Structure formats: C-alpha cells, structure tokens
A and B are shown apart, each in its own frame.
Chain A
Amino acid sequence: MKGWALALVVVVAATLAIGVQGLPTHDAPEAPIHDHVGARYVERGVEETGMRNLVGAVLLNYRGFDTMVEVVVIFTALAAVLALPRAGSVADAPEALPVSPVVLFVVRLLAPFIALFAIALLFRGHVSPGGGFQAGALFGALFVALGLVLGRRGAARLVPERARPWLQAAAPLTFAAVAALGWALTGSFLGFPQAPELHAVREAMALALEVAIAVGGGVILGSLFQTMEA
C-alpha cells in the first residue's frame, strides 16, 4: 500500500511542478488577479457597499450568494450529524478527576472576556477584521470552555431547548429574509440599496446578516459538539 501511495504522490508532485511553471507571479500589480475584478472592488468597494473591510464587503454584498450557500453548508453538516443513528451512549468514566479549581477560576474569569471579544469582533466586522464566521467560531470555543466548567448538561442549558431549532436555522432564514427585502428594495435578489438615504437600511441589513451568521454558526457548532459528545 505504501509503495502505491508514494508513486501517486510523486506523480502529483511532478504534474504540479511542471504545471506551475507559467503561473503569473502574484506580486506584479498588473497580474490578472489585481487588475480585473479585484481592482474594481478596491476602488469602489467602500462607496458601493459602505464597508471598509473589503473582505466583508465581498462576502456579504458582492458575492452574498456564496455566503448564503455557505451558511446552508454548515446547516447541512448539522442536519447530517443529527440524521445519523446514535452511536450508543459511551459509558461515562467515573468523575475521578474533577477539573482543577485553578482552571475553573481562570475559565470563569475569561468566559465573559471571550464573549465580549466575540461580540466586539462581530460589530466591528465592517471596519476591522472579523465578522460572522469568526464570532460564531469563538462562541463555539466559548461553549467548549464553559463545558469544562458547567459540565455537558450545564453547557446545553446555555441554549434553551425550545429555541434551539430556530437558532440553528437562524442564518439561512435571515439570509432569505434579507434577500427578499433586497429584492423588494432594489429589484434584485439580495440587493443592497445604493441610494444615500437608504445607507442606514444597508448597514442594518449587513449587520443583521453578520449577527445571524454569528448566532447561527455558534449554536450549530455548540450542537455539533453536543451531539458528537453525547
């Protein structure tokens, strides 16, 4: 088996090495990456989308459809994990080793800070790096940290049982709502209004998406940890 693998890797390496020869170096400003679509986003990005963080602008505005499908992908992952049969409850090892008090104290100290920082990342997403996914992932990490402290059932209580399916579906639903709103306002699906007087609406729509992605992503990640661990 090992021989085959090496042979395959060598072949792939060779093709990549030969193939890569003609690639235009990325540094040159006139390289196609920088002068075509990228250049336009850089020049007119801020005024067209109202976001200084161009990556956020591309993610939500120019290529918003990608992110909508992206959010559906992560929802699919959750639906997939939930659809699979339960793999039998794992015998719980005895609680011989409680979490050390020092760790408990530090985690309790840090937990609010993580939450706060995640929210900061979220709301400053259009000015500095950050945004929906990152905040969602931080909420996931927070869930794990709290899991150490509050225990599995404790952490589960963070997300109320009845609201859980709604929260899990928050991101795709919000996207559809914002898309419908955009359609109503600008006549095209997921269209953000350009008119100066509607800038506030545009910010609100973008923020709604960011929050939805963060909350949706965070809850989905939490549920994933929960389902996998159970």
Chain B
Amino acid sequence: MTLALDLASLLLLAVGLAFVAGGTLGLVRLPDLFSRAHATGKCDSVGASAILVALALQGGFSFGDLKLLLLVALVLVTAPTAAHALARSAYRTGLEPWRRAPAAGWRRGAERRDAGAP
C-alpha cells in the first residue's frame, strides 16, 4: 500500500513541477503582462497544489496533512486573485494588450517584441 502511495506522490510531484515550469516559461516568453498573468496565475496555483498534495501523500503523519490541505486552499485562493488584481490594475491604468500585427508573418518573438509590443 505504501509503495502505491509513494508512486502516486512521485507522479504528482513530477506533474506539479511540470506545471510550475510551464508557468515560468509563460512568464518569460509571453509578450505582455495580461498573458503572463494569465499563465502564471493558472499554472502556478495548479502546480503548487499538486506538489503540496504529493507531499501530503508522503509519509503517514496526519496533523501535518491538514495543514498542507489548508495551504493548498490558501494557494488556490490567493494566486489567481493576485493575478487578477494585477491584470485589472494594469488594464484600468491604460496598458494596451498586445495584438499580433495583421499582415506580418510569424517572426521570432524577440523582433516582434522590439517592433512595438509593450
């Protein structure tokens, strides 16, 4: 039984790490704030909760698990809200979302960004 639990937590851990890495990649590569906020808000909260649940499944201590679940709830509430608040404040203070130039073909991210995307 414990082997299955360990395997499950390992798997969850890997999935969680993948999500978090995805979120970070989004943060770096995406052209403007809104898309970044969108990416990190989602990926991080899911990734973090996955890792936390993985840890909860680890050994058998029970009281700690409760705290971990509490923490998961906390992360799931705060991360998206923060992303939302940021995006909203940026939008309300006049930050233009990035639009793809209609005629131009796909160019490597860097040139497009210098071309005028904020």
Contact = CB atoms under 8 A, between A and B. Distances in A.
Interface of A, secondary structure class, is helix
Contacts of B77: 106, 109-110
A109 B77 CA distance: 10
Given A106-B77, A106-B78, A109-B77, A97 B89 contact: yes
Contacts of B93: 97
B42 interface: no
A109 B81 CA distance: 12
A109 B78 CA distance: 11
B81 A103 contact: yes
Nearest to A105: B81
Q: Report, as a range, how many residues of chain B touch the other chain.
A: under 10
A102 interface: yes
B85 interface: yes
A102 B81 CA distance: 7
A21 interface: no
B92 interface: yes
Nearest to B73: A113
B84 interface: yes
A89 interface: no
A43 to B, nearest CB: 28
Please list the 9 inter-chain residue pairs (A to B) with the smallest Cβ-Cβ separation, ordered nearest first: A106-B81, A100-B88, A103-B85, A97-B92, A102-B84, A106-B77, A102-B81, A100-B85, A103-B81
